[in-house]
Amino acid sequence: ETNDDINNYVEHINAKNIFNDKKLLINKLNHDVNLFAKQLSPRMTLFNNMDGNIKEISIKDLSKESQYFMYMHLFIEILLRDSQSKAAKKDLLNEARQFYHNNASQLIRISEFENKYDSHEAIRWYTLDGFLYRLLNKALRYQDFHRIYKFRFIIKDLYEQLKRLYYEQSSELKNINTVYRGQLININELNNLQNNLGALVSINSFFSTSLNKTTALLFILGATQGETVPVFFEIKINNMNSTSTSYANIQKYSSKKDEEEILFSMDCVFRLESVEKDTEYDGIYLIKLTLTGQYEDENVLKPLTEHMRNDIGYGTYDLSALGHLMFITGQYDQAKYFYDLFSKDLQPNDPDIAKLYNNMAAIYQSQGNYAEASRCIEKALKVQLTSLLENDFSLAIIYKNVASFHQCRGNSAEALKYYGEALKVQLKSLPKTHPDIAITYNHIGFIHQKQATYAESLKHYENALNIQLQSLPKNHPDIAMIYNNIAKVHLDNGKYPDALKYFETTLHTQLNSLHKNHPHIATTYDNIASVHARLGNHAEAFKYFGNALRIRLKSLPENHPDIAITYNNIGSLYKSQNNYVKALKYYEKSLKIRLTAQSPYPSYIATIHNNIGLLHAEKGDYAEALKCYEKVLTLEALRQNHPDVATTYTNIALIHRKQGDHTKALQDLEKARQIHLTFLPENHPRTATIYDNFGMVYKNRGNYAEALEYFQKARHIQLECLPANHPDIVKTCNMIGIVHQGQDNRVKALEYFEKALQIQLESLPQNHPDIAKVYNNIGIVHLKQGNHAKALEYFEKVLQIRSESLPGKHPDIAEACKNIGIVYQEQNNYAKALENFENALQIRLESSPRKHQDVIETCNMIGIVYKDQGNHVKASEYLEKALQIQLEFLPANHPDIVKTCNNIGIFHQEQDNHAKALEYFKKALQIQLESLPQNHPDIATIYNNIGVVHLKQGNHAKALEYFEKVLQIRSESLPGKHPDIAEACKNIGIVYQEQNNYAKALENFENALQIRLESSPRKHQDVIETCNMIGIVYKDQGNHVKASEYLEKALQIQLEFLPANHPDIVKTCNNIGIFHQEQDNHAKALEYFKKALQIQLESLPQNHPDIATIYNNIGVVHLKQGNHAEALEYFKKAS
């Protein structure tokens, strides 16, 4: 017995009297041992398999866990089919002798049983206090299938003798109304019984009761409680007409004649009527039960049990039936045990050998041991090819085995071919609704799903489902499997509500046919969690992943691949919340299992390395990310054209893109594309993803035409093979919008953002975080258009959604605060800007490490607001704080340090602190020259800033030297019409303009304008700026006609494409006003200054410095006109 049993027994005997007579003591001890054995027979613990402390299974609530009863009954039923044999008796004797090898008295009893046992005395031997009673009941309590099998000899004889007596005593038994039983039960079990009144309860052992109420009470009166409670069962049996449960009065046949015992056969079923405290005996609970039938209409498992019985092979007995039963209950080691026993009875040429290998392959595959699974498939195939029967059905089995063989090796085309051959044979040789045809349809559907031919996949799955619904009970596990597969197609298609509906149907079916710790139920929980994760329901996702993990840890080996899958999924969920510490913890748990488990699929290991790499990439730790990706590429077992290799090259391209090495990024993406083309059609969704990534690289290079080309290619494939509301289409529309936004083609940008938004609003909850992303992009477009009210409206929608759907300190909430802050900053509402930036900083400090780039970015932005307010001390404080964090936590040559040094340099430059500006720009340059190629575009950016400082200092030679370096690098590293080349030409032109070298200035400005007209829309701000600059050069040359032409051209473009109150229109009106003022054309000058003033008065605070500038300019015109009163009025307003 267990230690708990012994402790209870010690408590029980400690309450007894003290004896001086040794003989009396021994007699009393024997009596108490027998009494205690009765109390434990069976130990009635309501099974709760989510509670790790409960280990015994003898009584179950069939309303929730009737499948356990069904499988136990089927197991016993298979055992009872066997004819009695010497081998069965020998198994029992060997098991008993092994257990009691140190107990001389029991060994004598075992030998006596061996020599004297007769089947007509099964009940007498069972009721003797000895090895049979104890070992058999213990095996049944613990549902130890191995040991139950060893005791099949006595189980069959007991069952047969009880059944015989049941019929012999039928007239006598009709007069028995009530029987009784006294027993100790666990307190937790009592609570469960109290909470399940009306439920069906099964007893999974031979169940002893008494006709005599007093006799039954003797077993519990005076019993010590502790963790157990004495209960008294009152069982009504007189209305029972069913013959499904045998019971008999065994008083004449028992070794204990005084107990008036009624013994029930195994798997008797009772209805729980009431549980209450006994009014007659203090401390005892009275539990009333009524005997029912095992398979009456109230038991919903009747049709499923009948089908399972037929599937196993009703009327036949062999160990393979036990193996099959253990397999479908998810007890794979037990299944192997029985199949191994079965194999020992087979002759070398037995036709069942192939079937055995197939079954073993299924077990190994379920355990994640794919190498052994493949070996078993090969053996089965070899046997079938040498012993082929000349009937089509056998031929179909061979085709399916060959298909399965190819499928295990990832050869989908060959697998599809052989499954097709198998289907042809089956459709000719089997009834149209035969379950085997459904299985083949399912396999074909699965392969089409992997090839992303979703319509074909759904068609085959639905064919399978239609057959199964006609030929199987509605709660059969195979029907659940098809629902699951249909759900997965909808998941791949981005139809998340449909996927969730089918997964929930799967779960409902499984809970009605499988025990709730079955690995298949864990898989369904995992799938439901994945849908919730994609829908942004993180709390629900964590709940279902938790359910999956608990079941898998209970029911599978500790290094099973399915446990690794759940760990990986939980890691990805934490990564989506930017909780990198926890994400990494779960990824590493998953990886540890993958590296120790037997798995021929290195792709599983590759997936985790890739996920860990993506995590490091998101953290900005590119070196660690690349190490992870290199591990994938060096996996020996991974073919060089494997899909996971393509994924890895794509991820490496992402790193190179972030590092600004666009050439390498494009090379890596091309490698990925070539691999995809070896095993996928050109129009596969994965190919579309590759094109999306090409588009991202070209976008980052500023090569917008090529970027749009690739994004449109991706979208064309997606519209062709994905449903119209698939999230990949949303993503591509979003990227097309971003490219148009980069080209200042804001109308087109909004068009694509709104397409993306429309899809999301139709397919996602209104507060889904992905909708917030598109709102954010629309807000950015309005911000760039100077439409601050609209921008603020969308950014506030973003904040509302993220606040409702994400944890309170999520970084995406900080981003929304930041964008709202930018709007207020542009409106010169510095108090509101600071409030939002500081909210963002607070969230980022609480949700990310202090060293996180987002924290640094926010410090930079707060510094810039203080700079704009003229609070240079505070501005410098925040900018320096950002730099100090970086220097403390980042490598000395990290690109983010360059960015911050550059920002501080710009700050000092704007304060005309040229020495300080040069100091920081040169720090940035030094890092870049040590870590980047000499012609990297980022180096050109710093050269440009150094050139600007020299230009402001009037050091034209030095300025020209740096600007020409910029032009050289950008001409070598960027496409010929890149806007950054135009900027270099413009800056060179400014130097020449300040040197009064107007010809050279015009040459460079016109080069800049030509590039900008070819690379950007006509309305682009850079085009307008260049027109302005050319106009000013012509003015300086005295060519007033040309000057006016270019200045007016700039204004006309702005008036055509920008909002009427845009600040850039103010700037151009002011420039034209100054031009006319210098020509002494005072009326025209006043006209343009007043246009500028009107816009400012409508869009800026009345005390804004820019309004003062215009007031001053108007005052100057009046002064030149001699209108001193007017001039004085405007100068006073300006001051």
Work out whether the CA dihedral 275, 280, 284, 289 comes out positive or negative. negative
Q: What is the homologous superfamily of the domain 496-600 according to CATH?
A: Tetratricopeptide repeat domain (1.25.40.10)
What is residue 44's predicted lDDT score, i.e. its pLDDT? 41
Element containing residue 1106 per DSSP (H, E): helix 1105-1120
Give the whole-number percent of the chain exceeding pLDDT 90: 38
CA angle 138, 143, 149 (to 5 degrees): 85
What is residue 233's predicted lDDT score, i.e. its pLDDT? 94
- The token pair that represents 655 in the structure block: 């790193």
Other CB atoms closer than 10 Å to residue 799's CB: what's the count? 22
> Which comes out higher in pLDDT, residue 191 or 716?
716
Q: What is the mean pLDDT of residues 770-791?
A: 90
Q: What is the mean pLDDT of residues 573-601?
A: 83
Query: Which range has the worst mean pLDDT, 135-144, 409-418, 1005-1014?
Result: 409-418
At the topology level, CATH places domain 681-764 in 1.25.40
Total-model pTM: 0.52
Phi (first) and psi of residue 208, to 5 degrees:
-95, 130
* Fold match between domain 496-600 and domain 681-764: yes
DSSP labels for 605-673?
Answer: HHHHHHHHHHHHHHTT-HHHHHHHHHHHHT-TTS-TT-HHHHHHHHHHHHHHHHTT-HHHHHHHHHHHH
When computed from its CA atoms, the radius of gyration of the chain, rounded to whole angstroms, is 41
pLDDT by residue (tens digit) across 1038-1066?
Answer: 888 898 888 888 888 888 877 888 888 89
What is residue 568's predicted lDDT score, i.e. its pLDDT? 95
What residues are paired with 232 via a beta bridge? 182, 286
pLDDT by residue (tens digit) across 467-519?
Answer: 999 988 888 888 999 999 999 998 887 788 889 999 999 999 988 888 778 88
What is residue 36's predicted lDDT score, i.e. its pLDDT? 46
What residues are paired with 750 via a beta bridge? none
DSSP 46: B
Looking at domain 59-307, which CATH architecture does it have? Alpha-Beta Complex (3.90)
Query: Which range has the worst mean pLDDT, 32-41, 208-217, 809-818, 996-1005?
Result: 32-41
pLDDT by residue (tens digit) across 240-293?
Answer: 555 567 899 999 998 888 888 999 988 778 888 999 999 888 889 999 999 886
Q: Would you say residue 962 has pLDDT above 70?
A: yes
- The token pair that represents 484 in the structure block: 């699951």
What is residue 724's predicted lDDT score, i.e. its pLDDT? 80
Which of the four CATH numbers 1.10.3470, 3.30.70, 1.25.40, 3.30.1490 does domain 622-679 have? 1.25.40
**Tokens 């030149």 sit on residue:** 1120
Instruction: Report how far residue 517's alpha carbon sits from residue 540's, in angstroms, rounded to the nearest whole number.
Output: 20
Q: What is the dihedral of CA 385, 391, 392, 393, to 10 degrees?
A: -80
* pLDDT band at residue 408 under the 50/70/90 scheme: low
**With 0-12 CB in 10 A as exposed, 13-18 as middle and 19+ as buried, what is 656?**
buried
* pLDDT band at residue 75 under the 50/70/90 scheme: confident
Residues 6+ apart with CB under 8 A from 193: 46, 201, 272, 275, 287
pLDDT by residue (tens digit) across 786-843?
Answer: 889 999 999 999 999 988 877 777 778 999 999 999 999 988 899 999 999 999 988 8
Query: Which range has the worst mean pLDDT, 303-307, 885-889, 921-925, 1023-1027?
Result: 303-307
Q: What is the mean pLDDT of residues 137-151?
A: 86
Nearest to 1086 by CA among 1103, 1069, 1101: 1069
What is residue 386's predicted lDDT score, i.e. its pLDDT? 74
Cis preceding linkage at 42, omega within 30 = yes
Query: Which range has the worst mean pLDDT, 377-391, 704-718, 1077-1091?
Result: 377-391
Instruction: Report how far residue 316's alpha carbon sits from residue 324's, in angstroms, rounded to the nearest whole number.
Output: 13
- Angle at which helices 811-826 and 769-784 cross, to 10°: 20
Instruction: Report how far residue 219's alpha carbon sits from residue 199's, in angstroms, rounded to the nearest whole number.
Output: 26
pLDDT by residue (tens digit) across 849-898?
Answer: 544 677 888 888 898 898 888 888 888 888 888 888 888 777 777 777 88
- Strand order across the 200-203 sheet: 59-61, 200-203, 268-277, 285-292, 228-236, 178-186, 207-210, 261-264, 247-249
Q: Domain segments of the chain: what residues?
A: 59-307, 496-600, 622-679, 681-764
Query: Which range has the worst mean pLDDT, 475-484, 552-561, 911-920?
Result: 552-561
